[in-house]
Amino acid sequence: MKTLQKLLFLLLFSITTQSFAQDKLMSPEDVTSSSLEQLFKSAYIKVSEVKDSYLKIEDARTVYLDIDNKKRFIGLNTVYNLQDNVSKSEILDIFNTINKEVLMVKCYYNESSNTVSFFYHFWMDGGYSTKTLVSTVKLFQQAVSLALTKDVENKIF
């Protein structure tokens, strides 16, 4: 019985990894919102919005992928509301800490909407692999999670 369970697990695992493991080298010219939509759907990541210049995915975090109009990079970003009644100096102190300690993401403060945007640029010069893009999006989400932990007193986020 255990052997049968192991075989079933291995079969399921190989089918799942085979469907995702078909990595392709893509050129920047091939990048469209619909090609990215297909890529993320095949990686079992929910795509909730598709427009000509961007798409919105929902995985561990909601992430927008903006396609540069010159197709040099794909911008990854996510936006969070900040708590009210926090001084600008406190906000900037936390953001400076994040920008120093969480190397993958940069955060920007939008004072008029009282939000923070976390950004990363995925450069596509010379091509990129689809696996690398999906892995980068996963890593970006982890970096944002790490950035949010820098507010140890939970005063900002």
Domains and CATH numbers, the chain: 2-149 (3.30.1460.10)
In this predicted model, what pLDDT tens digit does every residue of 111-133 receive, in sequence order?
999 999 999 999 998 899 999 99
Contact 80, 113 (CB under 8 A): no
Contact 104, 143 (CB under 8 A): yes
CB contact set of 20 (below 8 Å; sequence gap of 6+): 42, 43, 44, 131
Q: Is the pTM of this model over 0.75?
A: yes
23 confidence band (pLDDT: 50, 70, 90) = confident
Query: Residue range 135-143: average pLDDT?
Result: 97
Residue among 71, 79, 81, 89 nearest 33 (CA): 71
Q: What is the DSSP letter of 99?
A: H
Contact 65, 73 (CB under 8 A): no
Q: Which pair of tokens denotes residue 56?
A: 């919105």
